[in-house]
Homo-oligomer: A and B are copies of this chain.
Amino acid sequence: MNTNSLTVELGDRSYPIVIGAGHLAGGYDLTEHMPGDSCLVVTNETVAPLYFDKLRSCLGDTRSTHIELPDGEAFKTISTANAIIDELVARRAGRDTTVVALGGGVVGDIAGFASACYMRGVAFIQVPTTLLAQVDSSVGGKTGVNHEGGKNLIGAFHQPNIVLIDTDTLSTLPDREFRAGLAEIIKYGAIVDIEFFAWLEENMSALLDRTPDALAHAIRRSCELKAEVVAEDEKEAGKRALLNFGHTFGHAIENTMGYGDWLHGEAVAAGMVMAAKMSDIAVSEQERLTALVGAAGLPAVPPKAGSERLKEAMQLDKKVKANQLRLILLRSLGDAFVTADYSDEMLGEVLQSADS
């Protein structure tokens, strides 16, 4: 068993991220991270048949029930979060109950938001089963649901008690979703760690082959980098915003296309290339990013959604401050920053790649 653990340092709300193979099959003990003896497992119709029985072996004598959500970003809504809360009420779950999310980012975000709101916050455990959730959404305490007007517009900061990452779950992940997860891994290299970026350039084919050692390293390094940023800036007053590299463009793509048509990671991949093209960096660095995105089988250009529609969708971004949209750009590959100081012409030019 390839076990590995790191800690997200948040004072008395610090929590471990446990990464390795065989954790679910081996019945990793989650009960010591639960305040009481009851839990509600939130999963979806795709993940449940694959991993729910295994997860039960991690829950000991805990009284557990579960709820299966429909699969897909389209269901990441306030009404799905309500359905989870209805279930907690129906079960008369007390304040010492625990919500366990078993699934990808959508399951984790909705379940986390429901656990943040139920009785003003009950315990929460993340068991992410997609690459995207393992390297990004399960770590850092951002929870939420989408609004017709924009992605993740409704949410809460609510840190889990533990994140349990079983890399074995990736064996059942469809190829397209696996690649979407690689986008966020590439992001970490691009914004804060040029060495990791270079490692990814060398090891992309091993990752695409899902070689266990390569996967374990990529996941661990991604979690480490995210944990460092979150520990420094939990509520996104500063540095944490860097994690949104590519996301302002990406969210606009998702919002314009309708959630689910483009996967989040695909939209972020195209968004990162767009952000790099807005950045005053060497053309060779822009090309390295474009090449790595391409090597991961991800799109480097946005869909033909129309530059005007994309621009409008970008205005709803949470990074808009005093009506001025801020972007995450690169000083160089591996060194990102937040800025509102960019030319509208340049933005218009980059968005034109969305015109047919």
Residue ranges of A at the interface with B (Cβ–Cβ < 8 Å): 36-37, 78, 82, 85-86, 89-90, 92, 94-96, 116-121, 142, 144, 147-150, 152-157, 235, 315-316, 318-323
In the complex the two chains form, what is the Cα distance from A137 to B83 in whole Å?
A: 27
A351 CB, nearest partner CB in chain B, Å: 18
Q: Which residues of B contact A95 (CB under 8 A)?
A: 318-321
Question: In the complex, which of the residues B86, B119, B323 contacts A94, with contact meaning CB atoms closer than 8 Å?
Answer: B323
- CB <8 Å contact, A153 and B118: yes
- CB <8 Å contact, B321 and A94: yes
- CB <8 Å contact, A94 and B156: no
Apart from A37-B322, A86-B149: 20 A-B pairs, beta carbons within 8 A: A36-B321, A78-B82, A85-B154, A89-B147, A89-B149, A89-B316, A90-B149, A92-B320, A94-B321, A94-B322, A95-B318, A95-B320, A96-B322, A117-B155, A118-B153, A118-B154, A119-B153, A120-B155, A120-B156, A121-B157
In the complex the two chains form, what is the Cα distance from A118 to B82 in whole Å?
A: 16
- CB <8 Å contact, B142 and A120: yes
Question: In the complex, which of the residues B85, B152, B154, B156 contacts A153, with contact meaning CB atoms closer than 8 Å?
Answer: B85
In the complex the two chains form, what is the Cα distance from A263 to B121 in whole Å?
A: 26
- CB <8 Å contact, A119 and B89: no
Q: How many copies does the complex hold?
A: 2
A133 CB, nearest partner CB in chain B, Å: 18
Q: Which residues of B contact A153 (CB under 8 A)?
A: 85, 89, 118-119
A241 CB, nearest partner CB in chain B, Å: 10
In the complex the two chains form, what is the Cα distance from A327 to B316 in whole Å?
A: 46
Q: Which residues of B contact A118 (CB under 8 A)?
A: 153-154
Q: Which residues of B contact A116 (CB under 8 A)?
A: 156
A115 CB, nearest partner CB in chain B, Å: 11
Q: Can you list 12 A-B pairs, Cβ within 8 angstroms, ordered by A?
A: A37-B322, A78-B78, A85-B153, A89-B148, A89-B316, A92-B320, A94-B322, A94-B323, A96-B321, A116-B156, A119-B155, A120-B318
- CB <8 Å contact, A156 and B156: yes
In the complex the two chains form, what is the Cα distance from A89 to B156 in whole Å?
A: 17
A340 CB, nearest partner CB in chain B, Å: 12
Q: Which residues of B contact A155 (CB under 8 A)?
A: 117, 119-120
Q: Which residues of B contact A147 (CB under 8 A)?
A: 85-86, 89
Q: Which residues of B contact A85 (CB under 8 A)?
A: 147, 153-154
- CB <8 Å contact, A117 and B156: yes
Of chain B, the residue at the smallest CB distance from A35 is: B321
Q: Which residues of B contact A82 (CB under 8 A)?
A: 78
In the complex the two chains form, what is the Cα distance from A320 to B36 in whole Å?
A: 11
Top 6 A-B pairs, shortest CB-CB distance: A89-B149, A94-B320, A120-B155, A119-B318, A117-B154, A95-B318
Of chain B, the residue at the smallest CB distance from A319 is: B95
Q: Which residues of B contact A120 (CB under 8 A)?
A: 142, 144, 152, 155-157, 318
A281 CB, nearest partner CB in chain B, Å: 27
A235 CB, nearest partner CB in chain B, Å: 8
